[in-house]
Structure 1
Amino acid sequence: MTTHHTIALYPDLPITLAESGTGRPILLLHGGGGPATVANLAAHLAHTGHVIAPTHPGWDGTPRPDWFTGIDDLALAYLHLLHDRRLRDVLVIGSSLGGWTAAELAVRDTAGLITGLVLIDAVGIHVPDEPIKNIFALDPRTLADHSWHAPDRFHIDPATIPAEQLAARQANLATIRVLAGDPYMHDPKLLRRLTRVHVPTLLLWGESDRIVTPAYGAAYASALPEGRLELIPEAGHLPHIEQPQATFALIDAHLKA
């Protein structure tokens, strides 16, 4: 059973949370596509842990105060959430922009609350020879071609999307621009800071991802003292959607280890 509620993390920053399951706390962070993109992952993880899945401020119509302008704000907000809830032995899992947020959380976790990371096709670092594809410069079809192994299965013509849903997507993109538009999708300081993150870290990467390539994922893994990269065949930027069983199996094995 999933419960949805909103907390006032700061006086002017409400955070909407979806919680399910019992056991080890798992903070699940969605990417730019919003919370729906990690819903199947939340359902799977709830069988073995207590999943806390926030909706990032500014996504899906949730409020974002004017001062909330960077991924560092997002990371600190969730770190404060962990402190307020007095959580320990936390596993943080993030997809794409959520993976970047998870990494920023880990480098700021001086209290040692986080004991494991799973980064799924994460952005957030600068790799000179592997630039992050600029999603704002791509039309919907080209974006699908870069994001999916089988784009014909997942591409939706914007002309067929109801106006309300299309407006919500555009609002989400506007929030991404504010939080991650300049510098585009990365923190220039993050790569060197990752050397201080001494927790087991599984990096899952779709072999067909052309937003951030597997070579980009390899550079991410190399920067983490306990990083390990696993490639998922026939998957793009969201392997937990294209190849859920393969993705779940790798995460389950990581948790057991």
Structure 2
Amino acid sequence: MAVDFETLDYDIGGVGTVVKAVGAGKPVLFLHGAATLEGFDFAAGLADRFRVLCPSHPGFGFSGDAPHVAGMADMVLHYLNLLDALDLPEKPHLMGFSMGGWMATELAALARERFDKVVLVAPAGLNDPAHPATDLGALAPQDLPAHLAHDVTVALAFFPDGTDLVFAERFGAERAREGETLGRLLAPFGMGHPNLTRFLARITNPALVVWGTEDRLLPASQAPLFVEALPDARLLLVEGAGHFVLQEKPETLARIGDFLAG
């Protein structure tokens, strides 16, 4: 069943920024990964206790183009400005997935006083050579779904299956657009920052690191590195889940919600 989102529109530094919102309660700002193909329907798993705010990054998803983006610092600035525009009645929790986890790390490190708790779900950004991520550029397109979910049928549901040509064309155009912005975002250091552990050390907020044990994109062996670098963190390993842990094991949202509400 599709989630009935409210759509909020903002002009942030000249970029039309769309926020999909659902639920009521303390706000949770969710930062998505390097594409928006899986959507935001997972947010229903938190909407019974929280107001979940799911913006599309500049140049991604529902938001406008952002030709000025030249690195992660531009995204961090964008979200500081969006927080000003949102003018929330209380400190939000901050939650980031994959590339959005890297983004949340830099954002929370620089503005930790603006957030309550922090949740990092299979975060990118560390680039530890002892725990290498899969090189997406080396993957054949047909192999990508199996790297996104342990149960490949979960990931395949978000991809064209050849029966809807209009959807397939739209899917291709959206990935191309997001890929162009992503390329500029990653130009300085690739999918991460060489000093990310220094950023993590500044996040004194209570933090939860969530990782699927079967993640083939970003190995779960990175999880302890994040937990050790964060001053106040705990780890939630989700058995039998791949990178799309929130879609593959939706019951994980209840455990994240318990952490946020505790």
- TM-score normalised over the length of structure 1: 0.90
200-209 or 183-192: which moved more?
A: 183-192
CA distance in structure 2 between the partners assigned to 1:32 and 1:63 by the alignment: 16
Question: Identity percentage over the alignment?
Answer: 30
CA distance in structure 2 between the partners assigned to 1:38 and 1:222 by the alignment: 31
Give the Å deviation of 1:14. Answer: 1.9
Aligned to 2:7: 4
**1:179 counterpart = 2:185:** yes
One-letter amino acid matched to 2:8:
H
Q: Is the 8 A contact 2:56 2:62 kept in 1?
A: no
CA distance in structure 2 between the partners assigned to 1:230 and 1:51 by the alignment: 21
| Aligned residue runs from structure 1 range 21-100, under 5 A | 21-34=23-36, 37-60=38-61, 62-87=63-88, 88-100=90-102
Instruction: In structure 2, list runs of 5 or more residues that go unmatched.
Output: none
Aligned to 1:117: 118
One-letter amino acid matched to 2:126:
I
Give the Å deviation of 1:138. Answer: 0.8
Give the Å deviation of 1:131. Answer: 1.6
One-letter amino acid matched to 1:19:
A
CA deviation profile, 1:198-250 (whole Å, cap 9, x unmatched) = 011111101100211111122111110112111111110011111111x1122
Distance change (3 Å), C-alpha of 1:222 and 1:38: farther
CA distance in structure 2 between the partners assigned to 1:39 and 1:77 by the alignment: 20
Give the Å deviation of 1:163. Answer: 1.7
CA deviation profile, 1:151-208 (whole Å, cap 9, x unmatched) = 2453377672622222212222222222125422101122112111101111110110
**Which one of 181, 198, 201 corresponds to residue 195 of structure 1?**
201
SS in 2 for 1:127: coil
Aligned to 1:227: 233
Give the Å deviation of 1:113. Answer: 1.3
Q: Is the 8 A contact 2:15 2:63 kept in 1?
A: no
63-72 or 187-196: which moved more?
A: 63-72
Distance change (3 Å), C-alpha of 1:6 and 1:20: same
SS in 1 for 2:176: helix
Q: How many residues align?
A: 253
**1:207 counterpart = 2:213:** yes
Q: Is the 8 A contact 2:116 2:205 kept in 1?
A: yes
**1:132 counterpart = 2:138:** no
One-letter amino acid matched to 2:242:
G
CA distance in structure 2 between the partners assigned to 1:20 and 1:225 by the alignment: 31
CA distance in structure 2 between the partners assigned to 1:234 and 1:208 by the alignment: 6
Aligned to 1:248: 253
SS in 2 for 1:205: strand
Aligned-pair Cα RMSD in Å:
2.0
Instruction: In structure 1, list runs of 5 or more residues that go unmatched.
Output: none
Q: Is the 8 A contact 2:212 2:245 kept in 1?
A: yes
Q: Is the 8 A contact 2:154 2:248 kept in 1?
A: no
73-82 or 143-152: which moved more?
A: 143-152
SS in 1 for 2:235: strand
127-136 or 154-163: which moved more?
A: 154-163
**1:170 counterpart = 2:176:** yes
Q: Is the 8 A contact 2:147 2:216 kept in 1?
A: yes
